[in-house]
């Protein structure tokens, strides 16, 4: 039988073992479970700290972007320029240039022996379109031949008189008279040759070629073999399709405001392109003495002749202020802003806008001439700014 003191010692040791086991179990549970929670809490605090730091570094109204992000988004950086003016919309058509059309006519009347071309055929400058047989042309050729023969005879007579004068057989005055006659005969021969050449250089039979003065495409043929072509009658029409221009009808007052070299935006059947004014004529319009503005495209091909187009031209005095591309101006919370490039991204700068013309907007205040701003795809910065403000609000 155990003594009471021994019994108490035994129970004390058992109780201590239970306490050790309980404490050990508790430490195991603490060392296995709460660790991830602690790590998560630390991560959350770290993330909140980073966001807080970013918000502290990015003032309100700014968008933080790296150069690589700007390039990937396709955001164009442009400088601020001067300019201004009003914008006028005009209607016009694509027409051949003045030197791109030729109505080829017969210089002398005659019978059409052959027609060498057909509508739609391409021809080069100097190529024969038809062959005429003309009595008048034959006479011109005969006159030229006779005049040339007279000139040769006069030159020979002059040579003989000079030789006899040198020998003392005839007076020097006779040689001088022969010289004058030779000069007159040569002048008459030149005139006769010029008349024959103007008639198409006919041969001795009076056949003459009617040739195209320009390179282009035959648009019409007005005669047929066996027919008679009167002097001045049209044989065929030729047009060079590559030499076309845009002709706009404009109000008379616009002639004083538009100059050669001005830039226009033109809308054609295939889309929009730029053109340059090549000439302005006041009072040349077909209706009411309006102005006519001629323009030629820059870096693009014109639509076919006869196509209807519309164009806008900048008019008025140039302003001394600054202008930016119209797409650079965005509306944020009802105000006009332009995103100015900074060292870390962009800053939304409120601006006061003026006139708009030719895709540009006048800036009356809010920018400096040295600022560089977001041009193309500036709307992406507006969306990013709105997104950042929404996240900041939460």
The CATH H-level superfamily of 86-97+243-315 is Efflux pump adaptor protein, beta barrel domain (2.40.30.170)
Q: What is the pLDDT of residues 14-71, one digit of tens each?
A: 333 333 333 333 333 323 333 333 344 444 444 444 444 444 456 788 999 999 999 9
Q: What is the mean pLDDT of residues 223-234?
A: 94
Q: How many CB atoms lie within 10 A of CB 250?
A: 24
One DSSP character per residue, 65-131 reads --HHHHHHHTPPEEE-EEE--EEEEEEEEEEE-GGGEEEEE-SS-EEEEEE---TT-EE-TT-EEEE
Q: Is 270 exposed, middle or buried (0-12, 13-18, 19+ CB in 10 A)?
A: exposed
What SS3 class is residue 53? helix
CATH class of 100-235: mainly alpha
How confident is the prediction for the chain on average, in pLDDT? 80
Domain 57-85+319-393 has CATH 2.40.420.20: yes
Kindly tell me if the per-residue pLDDT of 218 is higher than 80: yes
Question: What region, left, alpha or beta, does residue 137 occupy, with left being phi > 0 and alpha being psi -120 to 50 degrees?
Answer: alpha
Q: What is the pLDDT of residues 58-111, one digit of tens each?
A: 678 899 999 999 999 999 998 887 655 567 788 899 988 888 899 999 999 999
Q: What is the mean pLDDT of residues 5-15?
A: 37
pLDDT > 70: percent of the chain:
78
Q: What is the pLDDT of residues 109-137, one digit of tens each?
A: 999 999 999 999 999 999 999 999 999 99
- The DSSP output letter for 286 is T
The runs of H, that is alpha helices, within the chain are: 4-32, 34-57, 67-73, 135-167, 172-198, 378-393
What is the residue extent of each domain of the chain? 4-55, 57-85+319-393, 86-97+243-315, 100-235
- The DSSP output letter for 151 is H
| Most confidently modeled range among 224-233, 274-283, 382-391 | 224-233
Q: Is 382 exposed, middle or buried (0-12, 13-18, 19+ CB in 10 A)?
A: middle
């Amino acid at each position: 039988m155990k003594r009471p003191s021994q019994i108490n010692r035994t129970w004390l040791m058992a109780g201590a073992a239970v306490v050790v086991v309980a404490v050990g179990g508790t430490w195991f549970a603490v060392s296995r479970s709460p660790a991830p929670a602690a790590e998560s809490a630390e991560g959350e605090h770290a993330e909140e700290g980073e966001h807080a730091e970013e918000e502290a570094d990015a003032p309100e109204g700014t968008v933080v972007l790296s150069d690589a992000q700007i390039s990937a988004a396709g955001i164009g950086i442009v400088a601020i320029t001067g300019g201004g003016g009003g914008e006028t919309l005009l209607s016009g058509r694509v027409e051949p240039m003045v030197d791109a059309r030729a109505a080829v006519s017969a210089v002398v009347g005659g019978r059409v022996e052959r027609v060498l071309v057909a509508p739609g055929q391409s021809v080069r400058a100097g190529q024969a379109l038809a062959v005429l047989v003309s009595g008048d042309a034959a006479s011109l050729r005969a006159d030229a031949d006779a005049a040339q023969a007279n000139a040769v005879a006069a030159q020979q007579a002059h040579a003989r008189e000079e030789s006899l004068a040198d020998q003392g057989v005839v007076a020097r005055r006779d040689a001088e008279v022969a010289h004058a006659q030779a000069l007159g005969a040569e002048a008459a021969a030149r005139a006769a040759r010029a008349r024959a050449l103007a008639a198409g250089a006919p041969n001795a039979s009076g056949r003459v070629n009617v040739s195209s003065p320009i390179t282009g495409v035959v648009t019409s043929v007005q005669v047929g073999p066996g027919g008679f072509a009167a002097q001045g009658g049209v044989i065929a029409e030729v047009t060079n399709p590559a030499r076309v221009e845009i002709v706009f009808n404009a109000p008379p007052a616009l002639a004083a405001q538009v100059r050669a070299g001005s830039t226009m935006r033109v809308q054609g059947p295939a889309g929009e392109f730029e053109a340059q004014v090549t000439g302005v004529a006041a009072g040349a319009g077909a209706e009411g003495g309006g102005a006519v503005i001629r323009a030629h495209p820059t870096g693009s091909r014109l639509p076919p002749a006869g196509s209807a187009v519309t164009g806008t031209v900048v008019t008025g005095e140039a302003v001394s202020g600054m202008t930016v591309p119209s797409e650079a101006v965005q509306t944020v919370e009802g105000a006009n802003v332009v995103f100015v490039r900074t060292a870390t991204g962009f800053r939304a700068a409120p601006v006061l806008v003026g006139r708009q013309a030719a895709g540009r907007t006048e800036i009356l205040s809010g920018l400096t001439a040295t600022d560089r701003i977001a041009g193309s795809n500036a709307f992406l910065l507006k969306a990013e700014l709105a997104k950042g403000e929404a996240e900041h609000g939460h």
